């Protein structure tokens, strides 16, 4: 067999296991030589985060809790200022994708290593992708400087995720795998990673939504999210993620929930032009087609699929189409035009299953 491929194997250390966040952090900080740490978290998660960081003692020199979804530029500036004020030599982010994104915003400005402890299935901790929102515009980019140096995965930290957030955060991770699989230049290693991610998330999400205290299923879901981030990092952002970034940035809609509403319709649109990738997705989910597999999984975990239910207004659909027409979709497996965007957004707005009128 003749094989030829190339991809960037991104550097970084991963520590994975139940209880890892409670015993691994001091050793990981020692490896980095960190002595002046800025700790990032939401105010809501602060008590849990302070408990996890307690073994670090006085090495935690500052605490920033101004995290907001989609990382507004003013929040990023405040986080950078906080790091400068304490002369931080490391950033420790404990939380979901918004917390990780804020840490990346600091690293984009300051040459500081990032350590991330995820508490959701966002997957951004495994990527060099950053995003900032200014007004209704969300700008994203890739820069190796924002890639976390260490990621500590602890499924016990996801036990308190409510079923609704478990479901949508999991579909967010699933979207990373799906877009990676139809990326035009995907190599065999990212393909295997994405396919295994779909398989892990497909079996884990119904189990964790049914019983949030199932540590084995939580571990499986977090493993799937880890793989999803790796696959996305090796490929890139496509039609689905571009739609979600526009909707989140322009209308301040919640990130994971937007992914859940949009993904079935993008999959249904692309499936005829991405036959091999769609067959892999369908097989991993035990379905006849990729679109049926995605929609069926979302039904089983009880996630909302309506942009209207998230607060989007009907006239905003046309505004979103206008914003999306300014973007390029060269790497999408199927040509994207105004009619296609309107079809996808209309279905996601109303929360219909793909193919329903």
Could you read off the pLDDT of 34-55 as tens digits, one per residue?
A: 999 999 999 999 999 999 999 9
Mean pLDDT of 220-242: 93
The rounded distance, in Å, linking the Cα atoms of 197 and 177 is 6
pLDDT at 140 over 60: yes
DSSP bridge pairs for 137: 134
**Segment 232-258, tens digit of pLDDT:** 998 888 999 999 989 998 898 998 899
What is the band of 73 on the pLDDT scale with cuts at 50, 70, 90? very high
> Residues with Cβ < 8 Å from 20, sequence gap 6 or more?
152, 153, 154
What is the band of 356 on the pLDDT scale with cuts at 50, 70, 90? low
Mean pLDDT of 56-66: 96
User: What residue ranges define each of the domains in the chain, with the CATH number in brackets?
Assistant: 13-158 (3.40.50.1970), 170-350 (1.20.1090.10)
Q: Please report, for residues 112, 258, 321, the alpha-carbon distance to residue 144 in angstroms, rounded to integers and kept in the order given.
A: 12, 27, 31
Q: Provide the pLDDT for residue 320.
A: 96
Q: Share the mean pLDDT of the chain.
A: 94
Q: Provide the pLDDT for residue 135.
A: 84
DSSP bridge pairs for 40: 64, 93
What backbone phi and psi angles, to 5 degrees, belong to 67?
-65, 135
**Segment 276-299, tens digit of pLDDT:** 999 999 999 999 999 999 999 999
pLDDT at 357 over 60: no
The burial class, CB within 10 Å (0-12 / 13-18 / 19+), for 329 is: middle
pLDDT at 1 over 70: no
């Amino acid at each position: 067999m003749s094989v030829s491929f190339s991809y960037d194997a991104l550097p970084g250390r991963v520590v994975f296991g139940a209880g890892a966040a409670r015993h691994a952090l001091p050793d990981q900080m020692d490896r980095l030589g960190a002595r002046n740490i800025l700790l990032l978290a939401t105010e809501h998660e602060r008590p849990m985060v302070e408990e996890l960081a307690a073994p670090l003692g006085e090495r935690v020199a500052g605490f920033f809790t101004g995290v907001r979804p989609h990382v507004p530029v003013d929040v990023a500036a405040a986080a950078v200022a906080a790091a400068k004020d304490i002369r931080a030599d490391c950033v420790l982010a404990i939380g979901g994708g918004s917390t990780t994104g804020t840490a990346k915003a600091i690293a984009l400005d300051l040459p500081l290593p990032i350590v991330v402890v995820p508490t959701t299935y966002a997957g951004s901790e495994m990527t060099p992708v950053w995003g900032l929102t200014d007004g209704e515009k969300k700008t994203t980019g890739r820069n190796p400087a924002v890639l976390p140096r260490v990621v500590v995965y602890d499924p016990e930290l996801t036990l308190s995720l409510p079923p609704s957030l478990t479901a949508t955060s999991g579909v967010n991770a699933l979207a990373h795998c799906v877009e990676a699989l139809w990326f035009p230049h995907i190599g065999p290693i990212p393909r295997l990673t994405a396919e295994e991610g779909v398989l892990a998330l497909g079996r884990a999400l119904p189990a964790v939504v049914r019983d949030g205290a199932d540590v084995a299923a939580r571990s499986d879901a977090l493993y799937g999210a880890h793989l999803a981030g790796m696959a996305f990092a090796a490929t890139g952002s496509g039609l689905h993620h571009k739609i979600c970034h526009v909707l989140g940035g322009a209308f301040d809609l919640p990130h994971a929930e937007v992914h859940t509403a949009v993904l079935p319709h993008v999959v249904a649109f692309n499936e005829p032009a991405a036959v091999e990738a769609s067959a892999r997705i369908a097989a991993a989910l035990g379905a006849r087609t990729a679109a049926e597999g995605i929609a069926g999984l979302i039904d089983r975990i009880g996630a909302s699929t309506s942009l209207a239910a998230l607060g989007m207004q009907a006239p905003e659909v046309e505004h979103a189409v206008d914003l999306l027409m300014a973007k390029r979709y060269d790497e999408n497996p199927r040509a994207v035009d105004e009619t296609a965007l309107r079809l996808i957004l209309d279905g996601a707005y109303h929360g219909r299953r793909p193919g329903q009128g």
